[in-house]
Amino acid sequence: MHGLIEGLKTRYERSPTHHKLEISEITEIISLSRLPGMPEVASDLHSVHCQKLCDLLDPDSQSKGVPTSEALRAKCQKLEDPVDHSALQATFGTSDGELPTLQSFINDLRDSKHSCIQGPAFAPACKSVMEFLDRTEPAKIDANELHTVLSALWEEAEIRDFIRPFAVHLPALLFHPTCIIVCVEDALDHFPSGCDIQGLLWTAMKRLMKLSKGRSYILAVLARSLRKAVFAHPYAIKSLRGGLPFDDYILDFINNPASIGTEFLFEVVAADKLQQYLPHRTYASYYGMREWHAYAAVIDILHRIPNDPYVSSPETARNILDELELPWEDQKPPVAVKCPWKNTFQLQAMLLMSHYCVDDINVEIHLDYLTRALVVESWPRYRYLLEWAIARIYRRFPEFTQRILIELGNLEEYSPIHIASLMKIGLLVAPYETQDFAVEFITHLNSYSASPKVQIRHEANFAVPIVFDIAIEKGWKRITGNPAFVGMNAFIRRLDKFNASPWTIRTLKVDIEEDFTLTGIFQGRYLSIETPEPELVTHEDFEALERDDQSDGFNPPPARIALGNKIKPSFDVVTPAKTTPVPTTTTTEPTGQITLQTKAGIDLDNLHPPGGPPSMQNARPASVMLVASLIDNPTNLGGLSRISESFGLEALYIDDLKKVAHKDFKATSVRSEKHLAINELKEVGVPAFLLDAKSKGYEVVGIEQTDRSGILGTEDGKNDVVDEGMIRKEARSQDIGTLPKKCCLVLGSEKEGISAEVLAVIDRNVEIKTVGVTRSLNVQTAGGIALYEWWREWGNSKA
């Protein structure tokens, strides 16, 4: 419609004389304005568009007496009015010029048979009750009367099915601090009124929580109102004493985040347009605040829950923390990379709450819980937050840091991921530790740098220079003066991988103290790196909350965590828009050392040649994709091209398509590249690519020697003959060694094998059993053997 209007305008500017429309044509355009099923703003915008179109096509359509044009005109006229009438003064109880009382309101309800709160009168009625609550001492309010009035309004909204013009006014009214105080005091009273005001608020809270899941505009008003309610009375969160089930609310908010329906996103855009015609019709005038204000309010509750020993409201906070931790701690390996119940917000909340919920008495329990969650977790972002939380607990209770060193000394007892976790945590606490700790720690790192297990070696290598830097800064001579550490530090710094751009979360530095601010937790770099995740809330949202408190004269209890500095957007950091789905983009290569790769999201379709994926173009017989992006030697890539083509794969992915033209590539590929889809997939894009492949039904299998790998071709997932004293003594359960029918196979780089960040998203690994002393096979050989095995398993099955 907008396009038509603009087009016609331009045309008339060029030639003012134009063809007049027939009545039937105008009627048809007008009938468009009655399209059913559109949400509010879209429908209003549509009416404005229809009216504009009619005016343009035929400025005097009114005179022609088109019957329906009247209705359209009338609707557009009404749009000039405010969105709701809450700005208008309600009439109840003010006839004698006195301040309204609840009794006068009840009289009005009775006399008008509730019509004084119906339809457009609802919003002004809510507003005047709120004004009354604002101005009246809770002690002067009769619980029974308040209950009557609130029930009447609640029922009215219920009759109207809680449609938007009703629902948006309820939270601020029902959970008004005065209502909460009246409710709690009544429950504590020796002679309670007997009315069930707590029951009403309870029901309303549950109902509105549920409604907010589908109607995102309720989220922010509800959260903002409940936030004020929590702070209204020390017993507000003690449900046995007349308070409300805040723990349920908060847990539900964090664990089952509301999704923002596309129709609301469309309303946002429609409101933006409508506002250009009618400036008072903003999104907020219909729906109030956007969802992120809900997050700001809930987080604000979390870090301000009052610490009143007599009421022991931290009890509630502790329960919330325990409930959040429980499912994480309770996971049994192997843990899937993406579990539907897990989300980043849970960990952010745990990090925030552990700050004040962990004390002398429960510190070991929390350390155990969080560590247990960490050592089975593979998703880098989750690991990052768990490590941060654990390190902060050690920081606050340094008497326990010996645990890190003791466990690091027990290589036999722990899995590689556990050891890697311990090293990371040691690294995080090192700046706040003593020289003794650091010396013992770097000694362990030195040994682990020689580990045959990639994961451990990577972690140890990466940590050494960082600890060394800390030692220089602190003047820890026992480290800086020790030739073994000096040599190790110098050696690792010369490795390419140490100097590579920090595009993974694993190498992202965090200062567990300085970064521990609301902004650091909710807008840290770790959210925009690797597979970016939308920010739930920003610095500005917390500021908005503070500003609104000031203008309302509302004084919340003191904050426990600083807001922190505003994030300066660096030139190449693209922050995904809040609440919109993570956009997928093709990755670009990090140019030079300093470019920070922030978006690893990759659009699979962009990688395929036009005309769809190769599997469709030219039905290749093996439903297998081979990812060779970690490999850089052109000879090896040429060999893999030959193998992939020979075994009929769907596609081969390599880091740089230019390599196909390299003479060494050609020497081994023997023109196989002409008959095979070879696509470019940058190394940085591999984790995102693999996640995407999984969503398309591929199982992602690494061809790699890891401590968990299944032996290729064996089904039971056990190492068939375990030689005492040889490679593996641990009776750990292994992955199975057969290959899935539809799979994405990943090979590792010649030097490093499969990197830790890629391992993190791989479903399972298989390894080729060898008996000689040579450490590993050439990558071409490994690829060839794996593909032969795929055909052995699936060759006879029908496509």
Q: Which residues bind ligand SAH (CB under 6 A)?
A: 454, 703-705, 747-748, 750, 753-754, 767-768, 770, 775-777, 779, 782
Positive or negative CA dihedral for 25, 30, 33, 35?
negative
Cβ at position 705, least distance to ligand SAH in Å: 5
Q: Smaller CB distance to ligand SAH: residue 449 or 482? A: 449
Of 60 and 720, CB closest to ligand SAH: 720
Of the pair 236, 747, the CB lying nearest ligand SAH is at 747
How many whole angstroms separate alpha carbon 503 and alpha carbon 514?
21
User: Shortest approach of ligand SAH to residue 730 CB, angstroms?
Assistant: 18
334 prior amide bond cis, ω within 30: yes
- What is the C-alpha to C-alpha distance for residues 527 and 112, in angstroms, rounded to an integer? 56
Residue showing tokens 């017989």:
621
Residue 766 Cβ, how far from ligand SAH at the closest point, in Å? 7
Q: Which has the closest alpha carbon to 640: 737, 739, 743, 748? A: 748
Considering beta carbons, is residue 30 or 651 the nearer one to ligand SAH?
651
Rounded distance between C-alpha atoms, residue 253 and residue 206, angstroms: 12
CA distances from 60 to 21, 80, 525, 558, 627 (A): 11, 21, 59, 63, 67
Give the CB-nearest residue to ligand SAH: 748
Side-chain-side CA neighbours of residue 405 (13 Å): 17
* Nearest-angstrom CA–CA distance, 388 and 382: 10
What is the DSSP track for 117-176?
GSGGGHHHHHHHHHHHHHHS-GGGS-HHHHHHHHHHHHHHHHHTTT-HHHHTTHHHHHT-
In this complex, which beta carbon is closest to ligand SAH, that of residue 382 or of residue 653? 653
Q: Cα(528)–Cα(76) distance, rounded to whole angstroms? A: 44
Cα gap 680→659, rounded to integer Å:
10
Closest to ligand SAH by CB, 704 or 757:
704
Burial of 173 (0-12, 13-18, 19+ CB in 10 A): buried
Phi and psi dihedrals of 40, rounded to 5?
-50, -60
Least distance in angstroms from the C-beta of 460 to ligand SAH = 14
The pair of structure tokens assigned to 649 is 């794969």
User: In whole angstroms, how close is the CB of 631 to ligand SAH at the nearest point?
Assistant: 8
- Phi and psi of 699, rounded to 5°? -90, 135
Give the span between the Cα atoms of 730 and 737, in whole angstroms.
18
* Closer to ligand SAH by Cβ: residue 761 or 779: 779
Residue number with CB closer to ligand SAH (485 or 698): 698
Q: How far is the CB of 776 from ligand SAH (least distance, A)?
A: 4
The span from the CA of 124 to the CA of 85, in Å, is 6
Residue closer to ligand SAH by CB (options 140, 775) is 775
Sheet holding 651-654, edge to edge: 678-680, 651-654, 624-627, 743-747, 699-703, 764-767, 710-711
The neighbour count for residue 693, using CB atoms within 10 Å, is 21
Q: Residues 509, 387, 561, 219: what is their CA dihedral angle, to the nearest 10 degrees?
A: 110
Please tell me the number of Cα atoms within 13 Å of 672 on its side-chain side.
21
CB of 706 to ligand SAH, least distance (A): 9
Q: Which is nearer to ligand SAH, 564 or 639 (CB)?
A: 639
Q: Quick one: which of 409, 689, 640, 668 has its CA closest to 530?
A: 689
Q: How near is the Cβ of 754 to ligand SAH at its closest, in Å?
A: 5
CA 279 – CA 338 distance, rounded (Å)? 44
Question: What whole-number distance in Å separates Cα of residue 739 and Cα of residue 715?
Answer: 9
Query: At its nearest, how many Å lie between ligand SAH and the CB of residue 309?
Result: 56
Torsion 619-621-622-623 (CA) sign: positive
Pick between residue 264 and residue 698 the one whose CB is nearest to ligand SAH: 698
CA 473 to chain centroid, in Å, comes to 36
The least distance separating ligand SAH from the CB of residue 167, rounded to whole angstroms, comes to 56
Minimum CB distance to ligand SAH smaller for 230 or for 747: 747
Of 30 and 779, the one with the shorter C-beta distance to ligand SAH is 779
What is the rounded CA–CA span in Å between residue 345 and residue 299?
A: 10
Q: Which is nearer to ligand SAH, 446 or 776 (CB)?
A: 776
Our CB check for ligand SAH shows the closer of 450 and 562 to be: 450
In whole angstroms, the minimum distance from the beta carbon of 453 to ligand SAH comes to 9
Which residue number, 53 or 768, has a Cβ lying nearer to ligand SAH? Answer: 768
3-state secondary structure of 247: helix
In whole angstroms, give the CA distance from residue 343 to residue 381. 10
In the complex, minimum distance from the CB of residue 608 to ligand SAH, in angstroms, rounded to a whole number: 24
In the complex, least distance from residue 626 CB atom to ligand SAH, rounded to whole angstroms = 11
CB of 416 to ligand SAH, least distance (A): 13
- What the block records as the tokens of 643 is 């193998």
680 strand-pairing partners: 654
Cα separation, 320 vs 598, whole angstroms: 33
Min dist CB 765 to ligand SAH, Å, is 8
3-state DSSP percent of the chain in helix, strand and coil, to 5 = 55, 5, 40
- Min dist. Cβ of residue 238 to ligand SAH (A): 57
Residue 480 or 776 having the CB closest to ligand SAH: 776
Cβ–Cβ contacts within 10 Å for residue 326, how many?
11
Work out how close the CB of 777 gets to ligand SAH at its nearest, in angstroms, rounded to a whole number: 4
Q: How far is the CB of 574 from ligand SAH (least distance, A)?
A: 32
Of 736 and 747, the one with the shorter C-beta distance to ligand SAH is: 747
